[in-house]
A and B are shown apart, each in its own frame.
Chain A
Amino acid sequence: MSTTQSVHNLWTHAAAEPEKIPTPHIEYAQLSPTLIVLGAALVGILIEAFLPRRTRYTAQVLVAVVALASAFAAVLALGMDGYGTTKAQVAAMGAIAVDGPALFLQGTILLVGLVAVFTFAERRLDPTAHGNRVDSFAAQAASVPGGQGERDAVRAGFTTTEVFPIALFAIAGMLVFPAANDLLTLFIALEVFSLPLYILCALSRRNRLMSQEAAVKYFLLGAFSSAFLLFGIALLYGYAGAVDYSSIARVVSNADNATDPALAGTMGNDALLLIGGAMVLMGMLFKVGAVPFHMWTPDVYQGAPTPVTGFMAAATKVAAFGALLRLLYVVLPGLRWDWEPVMWGVAIVTMLGGAIVAITQTDIKRLLAYSSIAHAGFILAGVVATSEDGVSSVLFYLAAYSFVTLGAFAVVTLVRDAGGEATHLSKWAGLGRRSPLVAAVFAVFLLAFAGIPLTSGFTGKFAVFKAAAESGAGALVVVGVISSAIAAFFYIRVIVLMFFQEPKADGPTVAVPSPLTITAIGIGVAVTLVLGLAPQYFLELAGDAGVFVR
């Protein structure tokens, strides 16, 4: 009976007087951070098209830095205006949320992006190619690795200055991702930041084949996860009859029983909700690199140019966890009893899996990749706390973690031998004797990763575990400290290597970087120590930002 009637209804609906489509109302001020970055990315493309080659580098760096800084200023202004707390609202016809978590994460992403641009712009590390200073990106991405085209491009002194607008596009997508308030915006934001990342991964100047392989792997697996996400979105739409978060949440919690006649056959079907929710979550967990969706992480981290790895490891994680939090806390709280056990399981295997596999790694970038997986597990422990404390602890952890990661990868770019970066661990032996300062800085980052007190890593870990314990997830805390102990082992191993082993005769040298990388590393160290010694202000900030707008 329902079929005929619904068809009929659909027919009558269609036949009725068409509703006027109102002009979308866009709150430009509230969306300004994203708009600034997007605008700058477009300007960057115009620069590529119209400026002579020799001036592009300076112009691109300038545009990127100014854009990111002013976008950050816009976030600050919005935050001080109270958009994070009292004036939190949904903007752009329900597509974008402007609230505490969104602003906090956008601020973090912008700062991370700014520091990352510094490492992108570094041109003193690689030896000059035919008298031209070059960065870590391919001379001409389209040329065949090792072919004549590549040699010509190198001789001509080409550099890929496109990386700056590409990175800006990625950052713009990341800004929208945690703020997206409907599933379609979420999906578009995901693609907007993923596609540029795939390209960035492929652009390494050294080891180009490995870099391209990493990009292809990342792209294929990323496309898979996007497909899952999209399919999940479709199923959720079928279930709820809407794609915006608040409507779905209302249907999930049975507050809204008005059935859209066109979807009468599927709406309210719990199977669709569960499968759709699971698929959307899978898409998110892929991006955060949680076990069992982590397979891409080590390969991509290793193959991508190291500045990109640092940027990706830090910023993607921030954006993806932001989106995951919003999804779980705004859309699916009514489904909590269903996703909580699953997320518990994911958190546990992610913590343990990342920590255990990291022990066997012999490449510093792969080691950091597995460590990032373990850290994703720790953050998930805060995510499943399902409390306001949980949200703010995750926000704080993300901010703390991303700067440690950026700094650590920036140090990795410095340690070099004839073949470029010396990432094999055995080459790091005795680094502490050759360059005590660099080794000491890296040791600080490792200790922060290990969660040793007086570093930001400890504060973050404490915040996350505290939130988990308070919400009754004591078991997660125990697993968390056990995997921390396991993880400590391999961080310490690197420190042993650097300080307690004799340097090898053909060991790598530490390149003297330009002020750009020094600034990036300096910011990393400063944030690590400040968030470890006097985290009060930032914890309060994260605490105030812990409420999602609905």
Chain B
Amino acid sequence: MSFPLLTVTALVPAVGAVATAAMPAARRSAAKWLALSVSLVTLGLAAAVLVRFDPGGARYQLTESRPWIAEFGVRYELGVDGIGAVLVALTALLVPFILLAGWHDADEEAGGDKPGRRWRPTQGFFALILAVEAMVVISFLATDVFLFYIFFEAMLIPMYFLIGGFGDRAHEHGEEEASRQRSYAAVKFLLYNLAGGLIMLAAVIGLYAVTADQLGEGTFSLQAITEARASGELEMATNTERLLFLGFFFAFAVKAPLFPLHTWLPNAMGEATAPVAVLITAVVDKVGTFAMLRYCLGLFPEASEWATPVVLVLALISIIYGALVAVGQRDMKRLIAYASISHFGFIILGVFAMTSQGHSGATLYMVNHGISTAALMLVAGFLITRRGSRLIADYGGVQKVAPVLAGAFLVGGLATLSLPGLAPFISEFLVLVGTFSRYPVVGVIAAATIVLAALYVLVLYQRTMTGPVKEGVKGMPDLRVRELAVVTPLIALLIFLGVFPKPLTDIVNPAVEHTLSDVEKHDPAPDVEAAK
């Protein structure tokens, strides 16, 4: 038995979470450093996964397989493909920055009146983030549907406590209102996702019933099911397949989130602290789009094709609606949340375009959106901490008092609007090309909305950073060392991947061939007639 690298990658943050939570109340700063070092070790492990992964090799590598719950046909099966590898890397990369950016976020909680003897919010905050990381990593690595489901669902709980317990204290109507809003956002987040997850549970059970019926023995193994489908051993009735697909897709569409199931995201991202908002949109939500690619397309190819028109339309609505609503936002964090909804529309478009450019574009989009949103949101968070307000109207002329902060904000914003030269441009371009080659009309409409992205980003920049220096902004300190340590690497990465995306595409492109072969699709041949 070789070294179980994947298990260890997921286990390290899990153990780290427990250890951090167990730190005594007085050792707050030690707990922080412990959590940070655990996340760095995880990053190292994720890098090792990336290095050990051979893009030209088998679809799933570094596989581990152990029996777990035989009664349900569940195995503890891990394996990594190119898409999973880069997403694990993205997760492991972002978490240290999230921790660092949220270094003081849970401190004031400790000063609340009459906290109990064992009330340790700081430890809790850092432990919960690590717990989310562990669960996200394992859901990227699982190749057993049941195993995936368990962590897909279980990660809601730490996420819920992060949103509800450590929300943003900046609120225009005072702290009590902030607390009420926060708990509302947390409950909304949980109920939406739980409802999605429970519907998926019915589909997971249905999948078991189908495999048990046809293969004689129920299984959740992704590989076993795909193989049985390929060999014709497993044939789902059209209606069954469609129902199961809908069950899975519903859960992922809530998570992703796709219009009209998106309404929890602005609340959650608005009320959570900026680092937690990044954790939601850049890390946790990626599980949704990733799962569409792996599970919806992989398990139910025909139903996916059947649903494509509707999904494409919903994705388009997400893109346009998200961007339009973003333009009208007064609240900085909600603006970024709606921008994310628009971006998730692009990712889902890429997934369901079912072309190789679409799929690799979608995968790259997940990575790049993660990095760019992290950069923008974290800088916005730094800004909000300084001024104590999330309202755009409260800012103005920041670039005169805090030029570095304004510059970082600008780069993050430009990345969000997919400026060429920055990483998101490549993925957005690929998604559009991939969509256009199969669905030209959809591609054209989607491309046109890029203008809207420019609008909300640039208007946001203009209103907050330029113009006369507003009252509350005067004397605002520029980025501190800790904050620079968060922002600089992210921006460097955005620029690096913008001019040299090859390391990523080398891993993703071969993997995408597998996801395409799942749906038995090939890229449409260049068609001169259609292009005219």
Contact = CB atoms under 8 A, between A and B. Distances in A.
B175 to A, nearest CB: 10
A254 interface: no
B69 A458 contact: no
Given A452-B157, A469-B209, A502-B179, A481 B150 contact: no
Contact of A492 (B72, B154, B191): B191
Given A453-B153, A466-B209, A500 B164 contact: yes
A433 B115 CA distance: 6
B69 A477 contact: no
B191 A489 contact: yes
Interface in B111-167: 112, 114-116, 118-120, 149-151, 153-154, 156-157, 160-161, 164-165
Q: Which of the four size classes fits the interface of chain A?
A: 35 or more
Interface in A468-524: 469-470, 474, 477-478, 480-482, 484-485, 488-489, 492-493, 496, 499-503
Contacts of A535: 69, 71
A465 B150 CA distance: 15
Interface stretch (A61-69, A228-236, A434-442): A434-442
Interface stretch (A9-17, A121-129, A167-175, A536-544): A536-544
A216 B372 CA distance: 66
Given A496-B187, A499-B165, A500-B164, A485 B115 contact: no
A187 interface: no
A500 B161 CA distance: 9
Nearest to B124: A436
21 contacts: A433-B114, A433-B115, A434-B114, A436-B120, A447-B157, A453-B153, A462-B72, A466-B209, A470-B208, A474-B202, A474-B209, A481-B202, A485-B191, A485-B198, A488-B190, A492-B191, A492-B194, A493-B187, A536-B67, A536-B68, A539-B69
B407 to A, nearest CB: 37
A454 interface: yes
A463 interface: yes
Nearest to A539: B71
B280 interface: no
B199 interface: yes
Contact of A436 (B72, B118, B157, B206): B118
Interface string A447-468: 1001011100011001101100
Given A484-B198, A499-B165, A543-B71, A453 B151 contact: yes
B186 interface: yes
Interface string B256-275: 00000000000000000000
Contacts of B157: 447, 452
B70 A481 contact: no
Interface in B62-104: 67-72
Interface residues of B, number: 43
A481 B196 CA distance: 10
A462 B151 CA distance: 15
Contacts of B199: 481, 485
Given A463-B71, A540-B71, 13 more contacts: A433-B119, A437-B118, A462-B201, A465-B202, A466-B72, A469-B209, A470-B209, A488-B198, A493-B187, A496-B183, A500-B183, A536-B71, A543-B71
B205 interface: yes
Contact of B212 (A458, A470, A474, A496): A470
B205 A465 contact: yes
Interface of A: 433-437, 447, 450, 452-454, 458-459, 462-463, 465-466, 469-470, 474, 477-478, 480-482, 484-485, 488-489, 492-493, 496, 499-503, 535-536, 539-540, 543
B182 interface: yes
A465 B149 CA distance: 15
Interface of B: 67-72, 112, 114-116, 118-120, 149-151, 153-154, 156-157, 160-161, 164-165, 179, 182-183, 186-187, 190-191, 194-195, 198-199, 201-202, 205-206, 208-209, 212-213
Indicate the member of B115, B120, B182, B201 with the most A CB atoms within 10 Å.
B201
Contact of A469 (B71, B114, B151, B206): B206
B164 A499 contact: yes
B72 A435 contact: no
A31 B115 CA distance: 54
A435 B208 CA distance: 42
Contacts of A489: 191
A436 B70 CA distance: 36
Indicate the member of A447, A453, A536, A539 with the most B CB atoms within 10 Å.
A453
Contacts of B198: 481-482, 484-485, 488
A502 B191 CA distance: 22
Given A469-B206, A470-B212, A536-B71, A434 B201 contact: no
Contacts of A447: 157
Nearest to A453: B150
A129 B154 CA distance: 46
Nearest to B196: A485
B71 A453 contact: no
The 8 closest A-B pairs by CB, nearest first: A453-B150, A539-B71, A500-B183, A481-B198, A469-B209, A453-B154, A485-B195, A434-B116
B72 A463 contact: yes
A450 B195 CA distance: 12
Given A453-B153, A453-B154, A462 B205 contact: yes
Contacts of A454: 150, 154
